[in-house]
Amino acid sequence: MIKRQLFKAAAAAAFAVCAAGSALAQTPIKFQLDWRFEGPSALFLQPIAKGYFKEQKLDVTLDAGTGSGAAVQRVATGAYDMGFADLAALMEFHANNPDAPNKPVAVMVVYNNTPAAVLTLKKNNITKPADLSGKKLGAPVFDAGRRAFPIFSKANGVGNFTWVTMDPPLRETMLAKGDVDAITGFSFTSFLNLEARGVKAEDIVMFPYADNGVKLYGNVIIASPKLIKENPEAVRGFLKGFAKGAKEVMAKPDDAIQYIKARDGIINTELEARRLKLAINSVIASPDARAEGFGQLKGPRLSLMASQVSDAFNTKGRVNPDAVWNGSFLPSAKELDVLPPKK
């Protein structure tokens, strides 16, 4: 009897040690989103909820963000290990902070095309980008579309426009009220925001940058050089877990919204499902993404973007495309085969 009790105690102790060892083996990863919990956040929330990162021995915590620039800064300071940010914002940080000791690096492309777009209303009689000449455009100063507008305007012959600055919540309201002639914003955000303000979908005119001569890459997963140097397997494991979850999200986007709801109980699930589907169709599973392969990029296009961002953002130095991208941690071609079938 005593021997049996001693055996059970020893077994329990061994189990506890194993459990503790297993917990210790989980590498903590703090991840910073670019924006609040909305439809596209499901791409990250689902693999957390379903344990795909834990399969890679990672303990991932995810925080909502306040913009791509802030996400880059927070990874650069070491407050976060990885993040999600617009590649143009990452390029700008590199060019303006050449001596920064911990400049984040892009390790996977998620939005193959920038979601930036110009939106206007049919009543404004703007039927093509060139019609924006002489018009009043509205956007917050940090808006990605506004920052990159010099590239759009050059590609489409737009001139003599003026900017009206406002806080993000007022952007679509001012367009609906007629205070500005057009706005810049993420296509899948501003379109739905206009509808929420009573504008009918058929009355909205949209010029996505990607369809109008601007082939900028959009949002990418970034990692700190410190993490890359000290734990490259963690970076590799994160991208594997993310790709596994992303494939499921894109296959069944409606089901994935539950994971956003779990983080933000007041979201409109129908609205966020629409936002996620718009993001998938317009910038994640775009024709360019299918041609280049999910997660990846092409050197010539990256170099062109680096040059365009240097000019449009008036950076202190020129962007070095080789310094902002490291594709060596990407999963295998089979694991990156995540895009849904063409419709």
DSSP one-letter string for 293-308:
-TB---HHHHHHHHHH
| Mean pLDDT of all residues belonging to the chain | 93
Asked if the model's pLDDT at residue 2 lies above 70, the reply is: no
8 A C-beta contact, residue 174 and residue 166: yes
Asked if the model's pLDDT at residue 68 lies above 60, the reply is: yes
Strand 105-109 versus strand 82-86 pairing type: unpaired
Query: How far is the C-alpha of 37 from the C-alpha of 46, rounded, in Å?
Result: 12
pLDDT at 25: 78
Which residue type is seen at 317?
A: G
Lowest mean pLDDT among 15-29, 101-115, 291-305: 15-29
pLDDT at 250: 98
SS3 184: strand
8 A C-beta contact, residue 293 and residue 338: no
Asked if the model's pLDDT at residue 7 lies above 70, the reply is: no
Query: How far is the C-alpha of 120 from the C-alpha of 137, rounded, in Å?
Result: 9
Asked if the model's pLDDT at residue 22 lies above 90, the reply is: no
Asked if the model's pLDDT at residue 282 lies above 60, the reply is: yes
Torsional sign, CA 207, 208, 210, 216: positive
Q: Name the more confident of 254 and 1.
A: 254
Asked if the model's pLDDT at residue 88 lies above 90, the reply is: yes
20 confidence band (pLDDT: 50, 70, 90): very low
24 confidence band (pLDDT: 50, 70, 90): low
pLDDT in tens, 128-151: 999 999 999 999 998 999 999 999
Counting every residue, how long is the chain? 343
Alpha helices in 52-128 (DSSP H): 68-77, 87-96
Domains of the chain, earliest start first: 26-113+217-324 (3.40.190.10), 116-211 (3.40.190.10)
Asked if the model's pLDDT at residue 175 lies above 90, the reply is: yes
Q: Name the more confident of 20 and 232.
A: 232
Whole-angstrom distance between the N-terminal and C-terminal Cα of the chain?
A: 68
8 A C-beta contact, residue 171 and residue 162: no
8 A C-beta contact, residue 258 and residue 249: no
173 confidence band (pLDDT: 50, 70, 90): very high
Asked if the model's pLDDT at residue 3 lies above 50, the reply is: no
| Run of H or E including 28 | strand 27-32
Q: What percent of the chain has pLDDT over 70?
A: 93
The 10 Å Cβ neighbour count of residue 19 is 10
289's CB contacts (< 8 A; 6+ apart) are 109, 112, 113, 283, 339
Query: How far is the C-alpha of 73 from the C-alpha of 62, rounded, in Å?
Result: 16
5 confidence band (pLDDT: 50, 70, 90): low
pLDDT at 259: 97
